[in-house]
Structure 1
Amino acid sequence: MLYSQTTPADKRRILREHLASGETLRFPGAFNPLSARLIEQHGFDGVYVSGAVIAADLGLPDVGLTTLSEVAGRGQQIARMTELPAIIDADTGFGEPMNVARTIQTLEDAGLAGCHIEDQVNPKRCGHLDGKSVVDENTAVGRIRAAVDARRDADFLIMARTDVRAIEGMDAAVDRARALVDAGADAIFPEAMRDLAEFEAMAAAVDVPILANMTEFGKSELFTVDQLRDAGVRIVIWPVSLLRIAMGAAGRALDELTTAGNLTGKLDQMQHRADLYDLVDYEGYARFDSSVFDFTLSTRQNESTDRD
């Protein structure tokens, strides 16, 4: 009932243990707290919170318009609704090194298990678009050092994302990744790798876990988890996938309403009310207070005659 029974400290410890075991962890992106519970229900290893998704949810492009308060607030809403560790996109850290330090402590307080800080110039843009710019190495290293110095829980995972590959090439990306590891990064997020060989090269170049971003319609081919595992990747994220699928389904439903005037033809594509009630643990609340669950839930067969 209510929020996660696993403490943030335990989630961080569990994440560290799983990474140390050499597993390849699967982190689909949650676009809201309910979808985080669905990710947990389907047996995944963790939940990813995308900055692009947070921006899109606000009707904004992913160009650095969201604030630390908005990102931390949504991260807290998601992290507290699942027993899984949640890692979040902290963009460039929301400012200079002192701002980065505040970002880390704010995200710790929000219950996240980790975050990544990137080396783009503000205003940033999606890592799979052209026209990106990155800061110099000293600035990138300074962000990560500030993040590490500010961390109060040693298990909070600080990942460094580098976008250098698309701008200066693979050799420069490897050099940048090594510098970020030397600055204290616990993992490296090499954005927009072109093929499995590039993931392999990055994994071989550093002695920390590598994250692979399997976003659709981007620069990277959509490799399978097994392929990425064999290439040395230890965390895989699908940051926007569930939002894209949900918005695609919503658009098709609106088309159906326009043409048919009702959604009878879409019932088999909807999450059933019984499944929703299970996901939000309606019966758990009933055990606490029977007055909130004093009815009999209809079966799937007569669902169409029931009302909300």
Structure 2
Amino acid sequence: MSEAPNLRERLQDPRILVAMGVHDGLTARIAQQLGFEAFYHGGYAAAAHHHGLPDIGMVGLEEMVESVRRVTNVSTTPVIVDCDTAYGAIPGVKRTVHEMERAGAGAIQIEDQVFPKKCGHMEGKQVIAVDEMVLKIRAAVATRHDPSMLIIARTDALQPLGLDEAIDRCNAYAEAGADLAFVDAPGSREQLAEIARRVDVPSVANMSETGKTPALTADELQEMGYRVVIFPATQTWVFARAYEEVCRELLRTGTTAGYADRFASFDDVNALLGLEELQRVE
């Protein structure tokens, strides 16, 4: 596999970077084959697919590191990794950066929620003090060994404290050394535009299709000034609906033949998984 540009290099390109959600080796292989320039390894998808759990802080660092390795072992595409609250205070931040670098992360995202955190599109979120999060960002920057790895600071202050506070927090985190900033769960096009305009570092937009934020195209977000757009759990929404439908069909008819036109073939999946290359090595 040829090496892809790292994320810091890619962001020199003025085109917005579209990061597709992946959570395992299969989704990584599919997304890389189709040409995505970046992946987003989200906590929601990892908790749902690997553990059958909601995104409420129940999945820890070691589980996320192992999940990231399943992606980086089969792909050279740069991966943005959702690291929740960095799994603790300053020692947790340092260990998170160290372990995610070893796992091959191209960027790590740390948020300012109170632990146990919640998915950014859930109600009832709380955030830590700005100064506490600033220290976390400084620790992440200081611990980083590979200068090409990006530090993304996410704030969840919009819901409990308002837009101005969320933007002020992003700028404080940028001053502390964050490479990109991310206000989660804006509720309108106007909020999205104001965030991109007022935040001092490149901004990340989250297109979580079933969440609170309106769906905009990558071109629309680029025009606003966003540099990265993530689709963190697209595969989760698609899989949950498609798998439920085929299960219902099997229970109703005793066969999955009615879905035959939706199945990837045995040979196509084996090719996707690299079977021919492995057999050639043997």
For the criterion TM > 0.5, the same-fold answer is yes
Q: CA deviation at 1:31?
A: 2.7
Q: Which stretch has the larger CA shift, 123-132 or 205-214?
A: 205-214
1:56-205 to structure 2, matched below 5 A, reads: 56-57=48-49, 58-205=51-198
Q: CA deviation at 1:163?
A: 0.7
Q: CA deviation at 1:196?
A: 2.8
Q: Percent identity?
A: 37
Q: Which stretch has the larger CA shift, 167-176 or 85-94?
A: 167-176
Name the Cα RMSD after superposition: 1.3
The amino acid of 2:39's aligned partner reads: V
Q: CA deviation at 1:5?
A: 5.1
Out of 33, 42, 45, the position equivalent to 2:37 is 45
Q: CA deviation at 1:108?
A: 0.1
Q: Which stretch has the larger CA shift, 66-75 or 191-200?
A: 191-200
Larger Rg: 1
Cα distance in 1, alignment partners of residues 2 and 225 from structure 2: 32
Q: CA deviation at 1:277?
A: 1.5
1:159 match: secondary structure: strand
Q: CA deviation at 1:50?
A: 0.7
Gapped regions of structure 2 (runs ≥ 5) = none
Q: CA deviation at 1:278?
A: 1.7
Cα distance in 1, alignment partners of residues 24 and 11 from structure 2: 25
Out of 232, 240, 245, the position equivalent to 2:225 is 232
Q: Deviations 1:195-243 (Å, cap 9, x if unpaired)? A: 2332222222233221111112211011111111111111111111112
Name the TM-score, length of structure 2 as normaliser.
0.96
2:142 match: secondary structure: helix
Answer whether contact 1:31 1:243 (CA < 8 A) is retained: no
The equivalent residue for 1:282 is 275
Cα distance in 2, alignment partners of residues 60 and 153 from structure 1: 32
The equivalent residue for 2:9 is 17
Name the TM-score, length of structure 1 as normaliser.
0.88
Counting matched residue pairs gives 281
Cα distance in 2, alignment partners of residues 163 and 241 from structure 1: 21
Answer whether contact 1:209 1:234 (CA < 8 A) is retained: yes
Following TM superposition, the consecutive aligned residue runs of length 4 or more in structure 1 with deviations greater than 3 angstroms are none
Cα distance in 2, alignment partners of residues 14 and 23 from structure 1: 15
Q: Deviations 1:80-123 (Å, cap 9, x if unpaired)? A: 21121011100000000111011001000001111100000011
Is 1:31 paired with 2:23? yes
